[in-house]
Amino acid sequence: MTDLRGDLVRIDRERLWDTLMELKEIGAYDDEATGLRGVRRLALTDADAEARRRCVAWMVEAGLEVRVDRIGNVYATRPGRDRSLPCVLMGSHIDTVATGGAFDGTLGVLGGIEVMRALNDAGIETLRDVEVAFFTEEEGVRFGTDMLGSAVTAGRIPLDHAHKLTDAEGKTVEEELVRIGFDGPEPELRPVPYAYIECHIEQGPILADAGVDIGIVEGVQSISWQRLTIHGEAAHAGTTPIVSRHDAGLVAASVVVELRRMCDSGDFGQLRATVGSFDIGEGQTNVIPQRAVITIDLRNPDDTLMSAAERHLAAYVAELATQHGVEVAWERMAKTAMVPFDRGIQEVLSTTADDLGLPYVRAMSGAGHDAQEIAATCPTAMVFVAGEHGGISHTPREYSDPAACGNGTDVLANAVLRLANQP
């Protein structure tokens, strides 16, 4: 890269690892299913508040200027030479699901703090400000909307709407922000960054299968969630001839099988389809199911092929309904278009990885991330870090080794450094 100023910086891997291990003690619990120690740190709970305070303390120790916005997003700035220029932003989240691990989200936040420490240790001054952030309620487990803090700061979700969201006990986001002392004074629509890079564990097997620690993320897949309800007719399993049946369970099962066929066919590109919920009520061995409700989760890195998949599915279900004499009803639960990440930022990441001698693969993200929200405001990309056990996540089994975490954070550090010195 012609714009490379100075040598490569290296983060302190042991310090990063110690920080990751320290934070995972906040909200730790004994997980019965795995026999492991997990992390339960739902957004805006006492555990989340304690983890937030710990991170703020680390930020202050690193000499950063900390500020909190009205949705509880926290930003910490390392000033550059020209403070009038837009900053380079790093970030992710520190809230977890109910059965979480030590890496999801936290690697990007604690990695970002480690980048700041490494820049300090090397005595490096940047042209632009560098910032590290953590965003509120990325998981969506407590208040029902994922990427909440980043969606608010990106202007997609109005602050007022976000404040009024409630948890299962009826507590609002606003009440909980006030309670834990993270209802900051800063406007939720922050100054636009020059670039945003999020380092995150992959949560999938692609990197490990390719034998690399690093993934350069090209974008986030399109996501479609629909609920399909099938109304058939209950009847006696023994006395009802096959041709006289209106079997809601069979129709639902046929949809599940067809979805897999669609994925395998290649007709819809890299379509991934999942039926995670399949409900026919209590059920009786000798009664034909009257009603079935299934959810259909479709992912596709290509919006056109996603639409084609949805159209094919709708036509298939309509034909099936006629064939079996059942009524069907569709309900749209969610739909997001594919979010492509910035090619320029990806280019900086790939050159940086090459310069560090770290092999990588390019990949689409199958999961949602704060980066897909921030991408609406500034050039954005992500660095993925490989995980073990097929990249399993949202469980205490989630694990990325110190070398992978260190390599990912080295890529983050040097890419940020290069961007922060771009005039």
Asked if 402 interacts with a copy of itself (CB under 8 A), we say no
| Angle between helices 106-121 and 402-420 in degrees, nearest 10 | 60
The rounded distance, in Å, linking the Cα atoms of 103 and 255 is: 35
Where do we find the tokens 């080295």?
A: 410
Asked if 34 interacts with a copy of itself (CB under 8 A), we say no
Asked if 145 interacts with a copy of itself (CB under 8 A), we say no
Range in contact with a copy of itself (rule: CB under 8 A) among 5-13, 105-113, 181-189, 294-302: 294-302
Asked if 52 interacts with a copy of itself (CB under 8 A), we say no
On the CB side of 406, CA atoms within 13 Å amount to 14
Structure tokens at 269: 């590109």
Asked if 172 interacts with a copy of itself (CB under 8 A), we say no
Range in contact with a copy of itself (rule: CB under 8 A) among 47-55, 65-73, 82-90, 233-241: 233-241
Asked if 256 interacts with a copy of itself (CB under 8 A), we say yes
The secondary structure of 167-182 as a DSSP string is -TTS-BHHHHHHHHT-
| Angle between helices 13-23 and 106-121 in degrees, nearest 10 | 140
Indicate which single residue of 280, 313, 338, 345 sits in contact with a copy of itself (rule: CB under 8 A).
280
The DSSP element (H or E) to which 372 belongs, if any, is helix 370-374
- 368, amino acid identity: G
Site string for a copy of itself, 325-364 (x = CB under 8 A): --------x-------------------------------
* Contact set for a copy of itself, span 258-277 (CB under 8 A): 260, 263-264, 272, 274-277
Phi, psi of 188, deg, nearest 5: -70, -25
| DSSP secondary structure letter of residue 64 | P
Strands 214-220 and 380-385: antiparallel
Closest CA to 182 of 25, 53, 60: 53
Indicate which single residue of 166, 229, 240, 351 sits in contact with a copy of itself (rule: CB under 8 A).
240
- 5, amino acid identity: R
Range in contact with a copy of itself (rule: CB under 8 A) among 81-89, 125-133, 287-295, 308-316: 287-295
Phi, psi of 357, deg, nearest 5: 70, 25
Range in contact with a copy of itself (rule: CB under 8 A) among 60-68, 124-132, 182-190, 239-247: 239-247
Nearer to a copy of itself among residue 67 and residue 227 (C-beta): 227
Structure tokens at 342: 């910035």
Asked if 21 interacts with a copy of itself (CB under 8 A), we say no
| Angle between helices 13-23 and 402-420 in degrees, nearest 10 | 110
Least CB distance to a copy of itself at residue 394 (A): 7
Structure tokens at 208: 């490990």
Asked if 250 interacts with a copy of itself (CB under 8 A), we say yes
Asked if 242 interacts with a copy of itself (CB under 8 A), we say yes
Closest CA to 347 of 336, 360, 329: 360
Indicate which single residue of 192, 237, 315, 318 sits in contact with a copy of itself (rule: CB under 8 A).
237
**What's the burial of 89, exposed, middle or buried (CB within 10 Å: 0-12/13-18/19+)?**
buried
Asked if 236 interacts with a copy of itself (CB under 8 A), we say yes
Other CB atoms within 10 A of residue 282 CB: 5
Nearer to a copy of itself among residue 288 and residue 356 (C-beta): 288
Structure tokens at 29: 């619990």
Least CB distance to a copy of itself at residue 127 (A): 36
- 287, amino acid identity: V
Nearer to a copy of itself among residue 28 and residue 235 (C-beta): 235
Indicate which single residue of 206, 212, 328, 381 sits in contact with a copy of itself (rule: CB under 8 A).
206
Range in contact with a copy of itself (rule: CB under 8 A) among 34-42, 179-187, 202-210, 401-409: 202-210
The footprint of a copy of itself (CB under 8 A) covers 202-206, 221, 223, 225, 234-242, 244, 247, 249-250, 252-254, 256-257, 260, 263-264, 272, 274-280, 282-289, 292, 295, 297, 299, 333, 365-368, 390-395
